[in-house]
Amino acid sequence: MKALLKEIGSGFHSLVTGMRITLGQFFKPQVTVHYPHETLKMPVRFRGHIELVRDPQTGKAICFACKACEKACPSDCIIVEGVKREGERRKSVTEFKLDFTKCSLCGSCVEACKSEAIRFSKDYNLASVSKEEFIMDLFKRLESEQPKPPQAQPEQSKEAA
Amino acid sequence: MSALSALSSGETKGETFVINVGPQHPATHGVLRLKMTMDGEYITRAEPVCGYIHRMHEKMGENRTWAQFLPNTGRIDYLAAMAYSHAYVGAVERAAGIAAPPRAEYIRVITSELNRISSHLVWFGAFLLDLGGFTPLLYAFDDREKILDILEALTGSRLTYSYYRFGGVCNDVDDDFIRGTREFVAFMRPRMKMYHSLVTDNIILRKRLIGIGVISAEMCRQYGATGPVIRGSGVGYDVRKSEPYSVYRDLDFDVPVYPEGDCMARYLVRMEEMVQSLRIIEQALDKLPAGPVMASGVPRTLKPPAGDCCFAVEAARGRLLVRIVSDNKEMPYRVRLRTPSFCNLSLYEEASQGMMLPDALALLGSLDLVIPDIDR
Q: Which of B71, B145, B201 sits opposite A106 (nearest CB)?
A: B71
Q: What residues contact B263, with CB distance under 8 A and at least 6 apart?
A: B208, B209, B210, B212, B213, B362, B363, B365, B366
Side by side, the strands of the sheet bearing B334-338 are B307-315, B318-326, B334-338
CA B327, distance to chain mean position in Å, is 31
Q: Which residue of B has its CA nearest to A8?
A: B203
Task: Determine the Cα–Cα distance for residues A106 and B157; give it in Å rounded to an integer.
Answer: 9
**Which residues have CB under 8 Å from B288's CB, separation 6+?**
B103, B106, B107, B110, B173, B178
- Where helices occur in A67-148 by DSSP H, the ranges are 68-72, 108-112, 138-144
Report the pLDDT value the prediction gives residue B197, as an integer from 0 to 100. 84
Cβ–Cβ below 8 Å for B70 and A106: yes
d(CA A70, CA A96): 10
Contact list in B for residue A73 (CB cut-off 8 A) is 68
Q: B69 at the A interface (CB within 8 A)?
A: yes
Q: What is the pLDDT along chain B (376 residues), one digit of tens a residue?
A: 444 554 444 445 578 888 888 776 655 666 788 888 888 888 888 888 888 888 889 998 888 888 889 888 888 888 889 999 999 999 999 988 888 899 999 999 999 999 999 999 999 998 998 888 888 888 999 899 999 999 999 988 888 888 898 888 888 888 889 999 999 999 999 999 889 888 888 888 888 888 888 899 999 889 989 989 999 998 889 998 888 888 898 888 999 999 988 999 999 999 999 999 999 999 999 988 988 888 887 887 888 888 899 999 999 898 999 999 998 888 899 999 999 999 899 998 888 888 888 888 888 888 888 888 888 8
**A-chain residue closest to B171, CA distance:** A45
Task: List the single best residue of B143, B149, B203, B204 to mutate versus A (max A Cβ within 10 A).
Answer: B203
Residues of chain B by 3-state class (helix, strand, coil), percent to 5: 50, 15, 35
The reported pTM is 0.86
Beta partners for residue A137, in sequence order = A97
Chain A residue closest in CA terms to B176 = A43
- Compute the nearest-CA separation of B91 from chain A (Å): 20
Closest residue on chain B to A21 (Cα): B198
- Cα–Cα distance for residue pair B111/B345, rounded to 1 Å: 27
A and B: number of Cβ contacts within 8 A: 61
The answer to whether the beta carbons of residues B301 and B65 sit under 8 Å apart is yes
Contact A43/B152, CB-based, under 8 Å? yes
In terms of pLDDT, which residue wins out, A45 or A141? A45
The nearest alpha carbon in chain B to A109 belongs to B68
| Residue from the list B152, B171, B201 with its beta carbon closest to the beta carbon of A17 | B201
pLDDT for residue B265: 92
Cα B120 to Cα A6, B116, B257, B353: the distances in Å are 33, 6, 16, 27
End-to-end CA distance of chain A: 74
Contact flag A46-B156 (C-beta cutoff 8 Å): yes
Q: How far, in Å, are B6, B191, B222, B276, B319 from residue B44 at the CA level?
A: 17, 40, 21, 39, 30
CB contact under 8 A, B198 and A17: yes
Whether A41 and chain B come into contact, CB under 8 Å, resolves to no
Interface test with B, best of A25, A33, A113, A114 (most B CBs within 10 A): A25
The residue of chain A with its CA nearest to that of B197 is: A17
The tens digit of pLDDT for each residue in A107-136 reads 888 888 888 888 888 888 888 888 888 888
Q: Which DSSP letter does residue B356 get? A: B
Subunit contact B203:A7, Cβ cutoff 8 A: yes
Q: How far apart are the first and last CA of chain B?
A: 36
Select from B367, B376, B372 the least CA-distant residue to B126: B367
Q: Does the interface predicted TM-score (ipTM) exceed 0.85?
A: no
Cβ–Cβ under 8 Å, residues B343 and B226: yes
CB contact under 8 A, A11 and B197: no
Helices B175-195, B135-155: axis angle to 10 degrees equals: 170
Mutation choice for B interface testing from A44, A106, A108 by most B CBs within 10 A: A106
